[in-house]
């Protein structure tokens, strides 16, 4: 059925137009993709291939020496490398789960209940989409120091929990859950929390997968050097950025770090792409 529609929708599309659009996609796609391919190639190049004139795009003698170097370098630091990995994983997992729980909990009444102040709260959240982190950075630091959360995982986890984007997407998607489903559960005597956990949440699976991915990406790349001072609490991106800070002699290891940091979010995106697209359908801001 959908296929038939798709074919009909092509009536207005000429062959010339299609050719031009494919050519444009290939050119723009090369612009997007080649630097990433180069990043991967660079990470596999031994040092003598990285500094060669004329430079080569593809790697001749691929080796994992650069990746091996990272482990050697990290094993020399006085905090074991696994500690950084644990820190980033801990922050990412707790932050993502906390965000998912708190944001969905708030999204449910916003999407399905009518009560005074509802429109105002939602307007506030849409406006908050426009605040960049930089605007709130200084007061946030002061608040963290008042709460005694500096040099503590909490200073990285809590701000991630409260990101307005996740709540916004969740609320928009929950609106599509049919009211009749909720009504039926109410008649059966289910409590609001039961409706939320047993009916609404299972039917918005694409939305929470999307939330997990967006939150995960933010936290996975978080350096958090403003809030964390103790070496044994520092994150993986922070530790790895120390490697690149050493400059040209570590060019190979730097390239390997970039690849390690990009592989995880890209893999997760590939696995969940269809769910994300499904969620983004309802991402629009209506007036």
Partner 1 sequence: MEKEVQKEKTPMSVYTGYIKKRARLIGKDIIRHRVSYLFMLPYCLLFTVFILAPVLISIGLSFTYFNILEKPRFVGWQNYVDLFFADEVFLTAIKNTFLFAIVTGPIGYFMALFIAWMINDIRNKKVRAFMTLLFYAPTISGQAYVVWKYIFSSDTYGFANAWLMKLGITFSPHLWFEDQKYIVPILIIVVLWMSMGTGFLSFIAGLQNVDQSLYEAGYMDGIKNRFQELWYITLPSMKPQLMFGAVMTITSSFAIHEQLAALAGFPSVNYAAHTVVSHLVDYGNIRFEMGYASAIATLLFIVMVLCNKGIQAVLRKVGQ
Check if the beta carbon of residue 166 is closer than 8 Å to that of residue 99: yes
Tokens encoding 222: 């978080």
Does 187 sit near partner 1 (CB under 8 A)? no
Q: Is 230 in the site for partner 1 (CB under 8 A)?
A: no
Say whether residue 53 binds partner 1 (CB under 8 A): yes
Residues counted in the chain: 287
Positions 77 through 116 that interact with partner 1 (CB under 8 A): 102-103, 105-106, 108-110, 113, 115-116
Quick one: which of 153, 196, 227, 238 contacts partner 1 (CB under 8 A)? 196
| Residue 205 in contact with partner 1, rule: CB under 8 A | no
Angle of the 65-75 helix axis to the 251-280 helix axis, nearest 10? 100
CB–CB of 45/252 below 8 Å?
A: yes
Q: Is 46 in the site for partner 1 (CB under 8 A)?
A: no
What residues from 151 to 170 belong to the interface with partner 1 (CB under 8 A)?
Answer: 158-159, 161-162, 164-165, 167
With CA atoms as reference, report the closest residue to 171 among 96, 228, 76, 102.
102
Of residues 7 and 78, the one with the C-beta less far from partner 1: 7
Question: Does residue 157 contact residue 98 with C-beta atoms inside 8 Å?
Answer: yes
Tokens representing residue 34 in the block:
């080649």
Query: Is the Cβ of residue 78 or residue 249 nearer to partner 1 in the bound state?
Result: 249
Distance (Å, rounded) from C-alpha 61 to C-alpha 49?
Answer: 8
- Closest among 216, 214, 203, 217 to 108, alpha carbons compared: 203
Angle at CA of residue 164, ends 233 and 101, nearest 5°: 70
Our CB check for partner 1 shows the closer of 5 and 178 to be: 5
120 near partner 1 (CB under 8 A): no
Neighbours of 117 (CB within 10 A): 8
Number of H helices, E strands in the chain: 15, 0
If one asks whether residue 142 binds partner 1 (CB under 8 A), the answer comes out as: yes
Instruction: Determine if 128 is a binding residue for partner 1 (CB under 8 A).
Output: yes
Select the residue interacting with partner 1 from 77, 133, 148, 176 (CB under 8 A).
133
Q: Which of 54, 178, 189, 247 binds partner 1 (CB under 8 A)?
A: 54
Q: Which of 47, 79, 81, 192 binds partner 1 (CB under 8 A)?
A: 192
Candidate segments 24-32, 59-67, 70-78, 80-88, binder of partner 1 by CB under 8 A: 24-32
Q: Is 15 in the site for partner 1 (CB under 8 A)?
A: no
Q: Is 157 exposed, middle or buried (0-12, 13-18, 19+ CB in 10 A)?
A: buried
Check residue 42 for interaction with partner 1 (CB under 8 A): yes
- Note whether 229 binds partner 1 by CB under 8 A: no
119 binds partner 1 (CB under 8 A): no
Smallest distance, partner 1 to C-beta of residue 99, A:
10
Shortest Cβ 17–partner 1 spacing (Å): 6
């Amino acid at each position: 059925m959908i296929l038939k529609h798709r074919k009909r929708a092509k009536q207005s599309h000429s062959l010339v137009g299609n050719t031009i659009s494919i050519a444009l996609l290939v050119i723009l796609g090369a612009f997007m993709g080649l630097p990433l391919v180069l990043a991967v190639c660079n990470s596999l190049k031994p040092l003598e291939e990285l500094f060669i004139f004329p430079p080569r795009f593809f790697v001749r003698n691929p080796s994992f020496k650069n990746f091996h170097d990272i482990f050697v370098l990290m094993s020399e630091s006085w905090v074991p490398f696994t500690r950084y990995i644990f820190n980033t994983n801990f922050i990412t997992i707790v932050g993502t789960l906390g965000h998912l729980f708190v944001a969905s909990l708030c999204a449910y009444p916003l999407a399905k209940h009518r009560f005074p102040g509802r429109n105002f709260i939602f307007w506030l959240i849409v406006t908050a989409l426009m605040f960049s982190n930089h605007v709130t950075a200084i007061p946030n630091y002061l608040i963290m120091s008042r709460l005694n959360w500096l040099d503590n995982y909490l200073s990285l986890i809590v701000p991630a929990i409260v990101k307005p984007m996740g709540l916004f997407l969740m609320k928009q998607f929950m609106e599509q859950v049919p009211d009749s489903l909720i009504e039926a559960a109410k008649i059966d005597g289910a409590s609001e929390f039961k409706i939320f956990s047993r009916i609404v949440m299972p039917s918005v699976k694409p939305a929470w997968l999307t939330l997990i991915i967006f939150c995960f990406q933010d936290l996975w790349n978080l350096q958090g050097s403003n809030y964390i001072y103790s070496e044994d609490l520092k994150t993986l991106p922070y530790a790895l950025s120390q490697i690149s800070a050493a400059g040209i002699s570590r060019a190979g290891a730097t390239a390997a770090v970039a690849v390690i940091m990009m592989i995880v979010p890209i893999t997760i995106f590939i696995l969940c792409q269809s769910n994300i697209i499904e969620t983004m359908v309802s991402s629009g801001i209506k007036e």
